[in-house]
């Protein structure tokens, strides 16, 4: 038994109706690296043999009686692999457009709350004989950093067809209501002991927020500001999704970063802003002021984590989609991102995780229902969710099948109906765009706008480098 922390539990509480809180992980395999090629029975056996390498795959959640504490993770004695791994063929011709349409349908499937909260669809029929593993994994299990560690355990560093021997597994029976109630009462003093320091941290945060806003520059978006008009993506969710993904060259992103003296994350955020600007220019109206993006930030480094879970929180960063010039947009983004990092470093003791750790389930669930009714006007998550996760630098394999591409994205929510996430892998900078189908007409336009912004920045960086060489 392991109790969910506050953010883990929040991900469950917010998962209601059309708000699916599962994340999306896509591994595109190249079976040609195995002399025997692709085999569905072999793939299914690999999942069976490797399930123990990902213990969360066998964990289901159970609520705490009377809502006295957050739910617990327990091993599922009825775990059935075939209920979690399914086989499907991508519609012809199996290109990226057809694949992404299939992913849209897969993502719209709610996960079964009576089983471990994950599902993998093995998608055959892709162009070039490739096969994709499309996994829905609930965000309650882990944040992006933790999921990277899980995937590292599941895949090989080298092409190796040696079988993994699964140890014998005998899960205990599910705990009774009385046991769960006893555990909650046992943990209650520790929970109550966190109230005073959290209240002090919240009080300090209010002071820090005032200091950040004192000069009127609004260096960081206020956490709960309903005075501003809702952005174009701040609306309620439907039950349908749109999805697109594309690979870019990590070397080009690094070139822009190094030449122009900014971080890779600055380049990413500036390209997101450019993509949003491109989309709104075609389907809406160009913004006249900066938009707000929600950005996950790590609270606990990976090396200090004992169990999988959500050890990150969120802060907010300005998204300068109203700026037409790509270099000016990048410079403004760099300043905004630095301010957000400073703000988070000073306020993380009173971050989202610290607060929800203390709130009862019924209160959080009530707030979630209110957020849905008001179409996201509670402003917990704002407009666009952005995330940039550094992935493995060396190739990974499932047996002898090379992982050709790796994509990942988190969820969208009421009030933030667009998610743009990058996971880097080897020499790739892999972008996913997930959006509500009513809020966003065409996610490919966001991808094209992102690509155009990167091209503009790369051209500017090379022009800058050339001018420096000529000056010397």
Q: Is residue 164 part of a domain?
A: no
Q: Is residue 253 part of a domain?
A: yes
Q: Is residue 163 part of a domain?
A: no
Question: What stretch of H or E contains 46?
Answer: helix 40-50
What value, to the nearest 5°, has the Cα angle with vertex 260 and ends 259 and 264? 90
Q: CB–CB of 408/227 below 8 Å?
A: no
Token pair, residue 303, equals 């090396």
Q: In what order do the strands lie in the sheet with 291-298?
A: 241-249, 428-436, 418-425, 384-389, 291-298, 312-319
**Whole-number Å distance between alpha carbons of 47 and 163:** 11
Q: Is residue 74 part of a domain?
A: yes
How many structural domains compose the chain? 2
Q: Indicate the residue among 133, 165, 184 that finishes a domain.
A: 184
HSE of 463 in the Cβ direction (CA atoms, 13 Å)? 7
Q: Indicate the residue among 136, 165, 184 that finishes a domain.
A: 184
Same domain, 105 and 194: no
Q: Give all strands (DSSP E) within 232-277, no chain letters.
A: 241-249
Same domain, 62 and 17: yes
The CATH number given to whatever domain includes residue 430 is 3.30.559.30
* Domain that includes residue 297, residue range: 190-392+410-471
pLDDT in tens, 410-442: 999 888 899 999 999 999 999 999 999 999 999
Which residues are bridge partners to 89 per DSSP? 124
pLDDT in tens, 21-70: 999 999 999 999 999 999 999 999 999 999 888 888 999 999 999 888 89
Residue 53 DSSP one-character state: G
Confidence at residue 420, expressed as pLDDT on a 0 to 100 scale:
98
Q: Is residue 430 part of a domain?
A: yes
* Positions in the chain whose pLDDT score sits under 70: 161-163, 209, 212-219, 222-230, 300-306, 349-353, 371-372, 374-381, 469-472
Q: Is residue 349 part of a domain?
A: yes
pLDDT in tens, 148-173: 888 878 899 999 866 677 788 888 99
Residue 399 DSSP one-character state: T
**Signed CA dihedral, 388, 392, 395, 397: sign only:** negative
Burial zone of 301 (CB within 10 Å; 0-12 exposed, 13-18 middle, 19+ buried) = exposed
HSE of 471 in the Cβ direction (CA atoms, 13 Å)? 6
Question: In 309-442, which ranges are continuous DSSP H helix?
Answer: 326-347, 352-356, 361-373
Which residues are bridge partners to 401 per DSSP? 398
| Residue whose C-alpha is closest to residue 279's, from 435, 116, 428 | 435
Same domain, 179 and 211: no
Q: Is residue 397 part of a domain?
A: no
Per-residue CA distances from 141 to 14, 116, 117 (Å): 14, 10, 8
Of the candidates 69, 139, 343, 414, the residue annotated as catalytic is 139
Q: What is the pTM of this model?
A: 0.91
3-state helix, strand, coil in the chain (%, to 5): 45, 20, 35
Greatest distance between any 2 Cα atoms in the chain: 78
Same domain, 130 and 195: no
The CATH number given to whatever domain includes residue 135 is 3.30.559.10
Same domain, 89 and 107: yes
**Whole-number Å distance between alpha carbons of 19 and 76:** 25
Strand 291-298 relative to strand 384-389, pairing: parallel
**Whole-number Å distance between alpha carbons of 257 and 387:** 17
Q: Is residue 302 part of a domain?
A: yes
Q: Is 139 a catalytic residue?
A: yes
Residue 416 DSSP one-character state: B
Same domain, 68 and 146: yes
Which residues are bridge partners to 416 per DSSP? 413
């Amino acid at each position: 038994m392991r109790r969910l922390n506050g953010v883990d539990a929040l991900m469950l509480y917010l998962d209601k109706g059309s708000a699916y809180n599962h994340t999306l992980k896509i591994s595109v395999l190249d079976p040609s690296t195995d002399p025997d090629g692709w085999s569905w029975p072999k793939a299914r056996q690999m999942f069976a043999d490797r399930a123990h390498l990902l213990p969360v795959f066998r964990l289901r959640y159970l609520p705490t009686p009377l809502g006295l504490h957050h739910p617990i993770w327990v091993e599922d004695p009825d775990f059935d692999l075939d209920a979690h791994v399914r086989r499907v063929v991508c519609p012809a011709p199996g290109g990226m457009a057809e694949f992404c349409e299939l992913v849209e349908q897969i993502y719209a499937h709610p996960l079964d709350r009576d089983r471990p909260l994950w599902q993998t669809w093995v998608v055959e029929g892709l162009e070039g004989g490739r096969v994709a593993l499309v996994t829905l994994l609930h965000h309650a299990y882990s944040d992006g950093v933790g999921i990277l560690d899980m995937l590292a355990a599941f895949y090989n560093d080298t092409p190796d067809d040696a079988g993994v021997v699964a140890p014998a597994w005998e899960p205990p029976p599910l705990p009774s209501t009385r046991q769960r109630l006893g555990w909650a009462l046992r943990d209650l003093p520790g929970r109550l002991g966190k109230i005073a320091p959290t209240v002090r941290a919240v009080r300090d945060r209010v002071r820090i927020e005032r200091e950040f806003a004192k000069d009127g520059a609004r260096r960081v978006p206020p956490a709960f500001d309903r005075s501003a008009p809702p952005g174009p993506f701040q609306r309620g969710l439907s039950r349908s999704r749109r999805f697109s993904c594309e690979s870019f060259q990590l070397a080009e992103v690094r070139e822009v970063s190094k030449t122009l003296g900014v971080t890779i994350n600055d380049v990413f955020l500036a390209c997101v802003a450019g993509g949003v600007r491109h989309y709104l220019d075609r389907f809406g109206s160009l913004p006249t002021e900066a938009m707000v993006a929600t950005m996950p930030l790590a609270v606990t480094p990976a090396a200090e984590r004992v169990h999988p879970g959500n050890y990150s929180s969120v802060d907010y960063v300005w998204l300068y989609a109203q700026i037409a010039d790509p270099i000016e947009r990048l410079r403004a983004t760099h300043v905004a991102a630095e301010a957000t990092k400073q703000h988070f470093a000073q306020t993380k003791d009173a971050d989202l995780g610290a607060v929800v750790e203390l709130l009862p389930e019924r209160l959080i669930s009530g707030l979630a229902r209110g957020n849905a009714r008001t179409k996201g006007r509670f402003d917990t998550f704002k407009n666009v969710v952005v995330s940039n996760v550094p992935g493995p630098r060396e190739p990974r394999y499932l047996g002898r099948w090379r992982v050709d591409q790796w994509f990942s994205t988190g969820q969208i929510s009421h009030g933030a109906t667009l998610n743009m996430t990058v996971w880097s892998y080897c020499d790739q900078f892999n972008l996913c765009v997930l959006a509500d189908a009513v809020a966003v007409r065409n996610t490919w336009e966001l991808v094209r706008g992102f690509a155009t912004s990167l091209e503009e920045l790369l051209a500017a960086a090379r022009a800058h480098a050339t001018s420096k060489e000529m000056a010397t």
